Structure 1
Amino acid sequence: MSSNSSPEDISSPINDEEIYLPNDFKYYQNNLDKSQFNLTLINSSIFLIKLLYKDHDVTINSSNLRFFIIEILKRSKTSISNLQICCFYLLKLIKSHNDDIIKDPKKLFLGLIILSSKFSQDCTYSFKTWIKLLNMKPDDLKDLKSLEINLLNQLDYNLYVNENQYENWCNILLIFGYDFIKIQKIINLKSEIQWENKDSEINNKLSKWFSFFKNLKVSNLNDSHIKIKFTNYYLNQLNKKIFIVHSLFEKRHYHEDLNEKVKVSCK
């Protein structure tokens, strides 16, 4: 996956402090490295799909779905922001109480990625290009168009996400994904993570998040007075699921470095 850059990302002689957008892992003060950040977002999309199909008679194979999602993202060179917006559309579908859901989770994800790319990019792939990228059959063109119309109907043709909504949502999305990390160790300022692997624990967390998302007012994400910060949540996890492993050969304690990083984004 690639992250889109903007002129704001580039430091200037006037202000040498780099400014990062929520589609860049550095925006979160390097609490996760790039690969961990990407993996957390992929897992978030899988868990959102599971929540969407929670009350439907659909079996989801997480391994197959993960492979499918990664292949789509790689072949289409989908940006981080497109994936985040795709997950926002998943949230809206979870809240829509629509029983007429697309039965195939893979097709649903593909359709939402196509919609998110059309919303966020002026120049995007045609249906024929998507078919070539994914090695689909030419006859699938009609189905792909029908898929798009179906999802647009379910989203009430409202694909718009403004800046404040996007930023708040990206922070919620990362908190959601990080909740399924069991332990994170910081060793010499390098991160090692261990994912939760107990089905009972995962299902318990999914149930809690399902209630949260159902009660979440999407309109509140647009409130300029509401600023949701992943780093605030992250700081609260110190000595709970985040552990600093001190080095015997360094004078400075690494938790001081970590706290300094977190404080920057908590202002």
Structure 2
Amino acid sequence: MDFEEEILLPNDYKYYHNNFDKSQFNLTLINSAIYLIKLLYLEDQEVEINPSNLRFFILQVLKRSKTSIQILQIACLYLMKLIKKRNDEKVKSLKNPKHLFLGLVILASKFNQDANYSFKTWVKILGLDSEDKNQIKLLKTLEIDLLQALEYNLYVSNATYENWCNVLLIFGYDFIKVQKILADSSKSEVVWESDSALIDSKLGKWGIFFSNLNVKNLDAVEIKFINYYLSQFNLKIFISNSFFVKRTIDDVNDADDSDLNDKVKLSCK
């Protein structure tokens, strides 16, 4: 009996490589969002980013809102567009990284699906008083500011989306220091780059890349993460007979669950 070949989409970790598992895929996307935000504010001395605090906020927003991988990927595309325009006054006026991420997730959700949360629900997701008119007004203003910064262009074609997802994962994987693959198994573990000077250097290079990237070209080219991934064997990817354990995105979520319930307020400061 013949079975149809499984069609994999860019929001599925299996689409990229069988040595890259779901936890690593999710964690890479989370880190990609954080690094894109850092990149946006890299030259803005008025904005101070606490990576662990921002990570916690992002994880909780995604978890509580049940945001899909696809929406996160599109929100990151909007982030990249803002990076390209980071010297514009409208973009420079966006001084709160948490507000920025939340607003882009809201916009990506509205573009990607018909049924969406109301502003009142988003306020509730944050653990705040859903009847607080000031919080609702803040989200409405944030949405308008981001729409203006993005020139009201939220459209993403299928080709742009697919190629962007591959670029995004290459970007995220660049900040992995080493990946060890267990011999005779598809299982692997990764170690993330921790040298701040090296991270800043990579961010600078990616900033130049994104600044020069013509988003329209993502409709015409074909970019595959797998090609980049295979090029990293014996450079940062190694076959190993031994295994080491690192925390995954699931571990982080489990730890967060033990310390926090959904009624706790998420600080947007």
Name the TM tier (shorter chain). 0.7 to 0.9
For residues 243 and 99 of structure 1, what CA distance do their matches in structure 2 show?
Answer: 45
Which aligned pairs between 1:193-212 and structure 2 lie closer than 5 A?
193-212=190-209
Aligned with 1:156: secondary structure? coil
Residue of structure 2 aligned with 1:99, choices 64, 78, 89: 89
- Match status 1:240 vs 2:229: no
Residue of structure 1 aligned with 2:214, choices 214, 217, 226: 217
For residues 227 and 75 of structure 2, what CA distance do their matches in structure 1 show?
Answer: 25
TM-score (norm 2): 0.84
Deviation for aligned residue 1:186: 0.3
Which aligned pairs between 1:103-182 and structure 2 lie closer than 5 A?
103-137=95-129, 138=132, 139-182=134-177
Q: 2:246 aligns to what?
A: none
- What are the ranges of 5 or more consecutive residues in structure 1 without an aligned counterpart? 1-12, 248-267
Q: Is the 8 A contact 2:19 2:186 kept in 1?
A: no
Identity across the alignment (%): 63
Tell which deviates more after alignment, 158-167 or 95-104. 95-104
Q: 1:76 aligns to what?
A: 65
Question: Once the two structures are superposed, what CA deviation does each residue of 1:197-224 show, in whole Å capped at 9, x if it has no partner?
Answer: 011111111111011100111110011x
Deviation for aligned residue 1:31: 3.1
Structure with more contact order per residue of length (Cα contacts < 8 Å, sep ≥ 6):
2
For residues 179 and 79 of structure 1, what CA distance do their matches in structure 2 show?
Answer: 23
Deviation for aligned residue 1:14: 6.2
- The AA in structure 2 aligned to 1:99 is E
Q: Is the 8 A contact 2:19 2:181 kept in 1?
A: no
Q: Structure 1 stretches (4+) deviating beyond 4 angstroms?
A: none
Q: Root-mean-square deviation (CA), in Å?
A: 1.3
- The AA in structure 1 aligned to 2:197 is S
For residues 14 and 199 of structure 2, what CA distance do their matches in structure 1 show?
Answer: 27
Deviation for aligned residue 1:16: 2.3
Q: 1:36 aligns to what?
A: 24
TM-score (norm 1): 0.85
Q: 2:188 aligns to what?
A: 191
Q: Is the 8 A contact 2:18 2:186 kept in 1?
A: no
For residues 42 and 95 of structure 1, what CA distance do their matches in structure 2 show?
Answer: 20
Q: 1:62 aligns to what?
A: 51
